[in-house]
Structure 1
């Protein structure tokens, strides 16, 4: 997932005039920089290494940033948490502010192709030379902190977060849109001083770390709420909504809630039975009335993300940003995220989706429900920290056949033995096992017919791996003769 693409333009590496980033020496420098980051303890790849949330240490992150000059305090920021929808909402906010003519940094995770996708500026990833230079700034600081913390020095995600703020400062962004990695209260991003915060949704995920009730999860995510800083929330369920409201009140933070201060009306799908539908919405908030706002990301769930994003944009307008209705419309239309109900082929209809918890899988199934297809097959793999039985019970209600596999690009995957033992207990539709995603995709190429739906979901890692396989060799699932 960290391979360097020759499509990136050649650049001179720091301190040289003859070695470019696309030369063998430049490639080595770039790969060494990325490898330095991935050598760190990485809870994205090994979540079992974290015994509890207390293993996520904000004091360590604060020390790291202090030694780097506190770049997070030099950038105006918005901060977005949520069980699902936070990446889509962050992207919508970024595109709206970009459409208004500002320079916007966007920090999201994980990445699909290149590490530097995590910290874009006006949709552009950092160059290999920039990555090398940023990591060179980090190295001596990390070495000092390693000595101070011994075996518990900065993690991969902490370094990625710090690196993003350094990049945003160097690129002189007008705004940084920061997506929380995990939880909120103790997440590495939660050392900023945001202009606006948001909590998009609350559902069961990472329960071992965040708590086994929606209220407990909501309280962890509401840890991003700052004193007197307005917070926008798309959470409507009574228990978690009340938890967020209580924390906002304790922080004297103005709270704008979907279904209360934010009124979302007349959600209408752009008619299509051939592909997942996009929506138009009407929205009333902060004394403004928007009609027929069109979204480019498919699924009814994106209407709630859009309501949160537009509200955040209006609040930014109250804090010095000049953003018109036309720019809001343009930003929503420009907002797209990879691996969110992404159509990668149409004959047959092939969709990859990063859904990984019950709420996101339900949203996916709802989005696909109106499609005019003959047969629906899903390829599924997920991570060990997920409620696998719950996810499979949803899929077996909505698909005609369930294919089970294990993604190979990350050690978090549920094993084939575990899936095979669980399948007969949960699945009510025909199911098959595949040793790896490549085997499954090769079988699909021979058996999935034009007019059918083939969906790949259950994990960001599976969706990314399958998309790579399709692009690198399988490319297209050919219909049966």
Structure 2
């Protein structure tokens, strides 16, 4: 049967779109990328809001036409952003969600009501950014970085899709982050702990000051920061900006209830009561597992409630449905049941501790950890926190990002830290296979230590043949 001219034309159009898509991805990957190579950043001076302002101005300042919720924090910001977006979507709004990094496709960074942009929409946005980048590359200040282009792409897509509101997760820090050129209706700072200390500072107070840089004049702030010195900095900056602040544990009161681990669910979500002034909700249910998610959810609830003053109303039933339906990939994500296989993007001591607390009550004959991390992380502290929970470790190095700590270096650290048996494997795929060769259906395997490891294990699992 011969191919019709119409079918041939459609196939050629599709191939052209795919070819342009690959060209756009290659363009982005060719830019300076501090996500992949944080060592390229010499310090805060590497991040220039002036360059981002110039980029946005050249594409029409799309951020000026959009309302947003802006979220920073050492951990929990991605989960909180997802919860806010899901609640508002459940309430009938068209919601843009900007997060980073991505697990598999670049477009995961900017979705609208959970949907990725089409390849054609992506091509149109990136080709516009390519033209502007070519101009900026010739100037003394230099052209935009990978993340600056990603942020601009998100704003362009959200404006084209005419979203009612965008939920924007900070990439790194806050004060000098490229997302910080925006006009939020409310700002959220989820938590402060030590991470990216070379770029943000070596103490919680210094890190808090960087993240408090997202606070805008007279714009409400929701804070989940519990570290005393860090919380004091957040309040100081909020006061200096005349910004009203609601603090978890003070104005925002919560009582968390653990799940029933006798249920059929392997990783059931927690529930919690929420109270702020005359507003209270009992038994709010979550699907995301872990007690720490009740704190993130409380911040999301407070933020959504604060939007009433902006004419955005969410009913109690919509709030409950949105929280229960909110899920996020690579955060204690269950991808197999027998044996249990979990992938988690925890990569700093606070998030690793939250993971351990979540997995501790999960019954298993043995618990095996697949572990890889980045050169700029405190691997000693991460392994020390994991050591008590797991019966065995398989150390590896992720392959698709140059930040991975070499296996030999990781093995040397493990010899000093781990009290349980460990082995090594050259790649996440081989580590996964090695684990499955030795487990029973009653065991638990968890891949953690890096977003990039969790993403590669998830990809390997999808490509593998399962019995």
| TM bin (shorter chain) | over 0.9
User: Which secondary structure state, in structure 2, belongs to the residue aligned with residue 269 of structure 1?
Assistant: coil
- Residue in 2 aligned with 1:133? 124
2:338 counterpart of 1:347 = yes
The 5 A counterparts of 1:98-117 are 98-117=89-108
- Residue in 1 aligned with 2:213? 223
Q: Distance in 2 between matches of 1:474 and 1:461?
A: 22
Contact 2:261–2:362 under 8 Å retained in 1: no
**Tell me, which stretches of 5 or more residues in structure 1 are unaligned?**
1-11, 477-481
- Residue in 2 aligned with 1:360? 351
Contact 2:397–2:426 under 8 Å retained in 1: yes
**Tell me, which stretches of 5 or more residues in structure 2 are unaligned?**
1-5
The 5 A counterparts of 1:56-455 are 56-149=47-140, 152-272=142-262, 275-455=266-446
Compute the TM-score of the two structures, normalised by the length of structure 2: 0.96
> Structure 1 residues 389 and 351 mapped into 2: Cα distance closer, same or farther (>3 Å)?
same
User: Which secondary structure state, in structure 1, belongs to the residue aligned with residue 242 of structure 2?
Assistant: coil
User: Which secondary structure state, in structure 2, belongs to the residue aligned with residue 378 of structure 1?
Assistant: strand
Shift of 1:286: 4.3
Shift of 1:149: 3.5
Contact 2:261–2:361 under 8 Å retained in 1: no
User: Which secondary structure state, in structure 2, belongs to the residue aligned with residue 189 of structure 1?
Assistant: helix
Q: Distance in 2 between matches of 1:19 and 1:411?
A: 39
Instruction: Give the count of matched residue pairs.
Output: 460
Q: Distance in 1 between matches of 2:94 and 2:48?
A: 31
Q: Distance in 2 between matches of 1:402 and 1:107?
A: 34
Deviations 1:313-368 (A, max 9, x none): 00112211021111111110111000000001011011000000001100000000
Contact 2:17–2:123 under 8 Å retained in 1: no
Shift of 1:300: 0.5
2:22 counterpart of 1:31 = yes
- Residue in 2 aligned with 1:6? none
Deviations 1:163-201 (A, max 9, x none): 100100000000000000000000000000111000001
Shift of 1:267: 2.5
Contact 1:362–1:394 under 8 Å retained in 2: yes
> Structure 1 residues 67 and 288 mapped into 2: Cα distance closer, same or farther (>3 Å)?
same
Contact 2:190–2:296 under 8 Å retained in 1: yes
Contact 2:43–2:198 under 8 Å retained in 1: yes
Q: Distance in 2 between matches of 1:188 and 1:314?
A: 27
Q: Distance in 2 between matches of 1:256 and 1:71?
A: 29
> Structure 1 residues 22 and 316 mapped into 2: Cα distance closer, same or farther (>3 Å)?
farther
Compute the TM-score of the two structures, normalised by the length of structure 1: 0.93
Contact 1:277–1:367 under 8 Å retained in 2: no
Shift of 1:25: 2.3
Shift of 1:287: 2.2
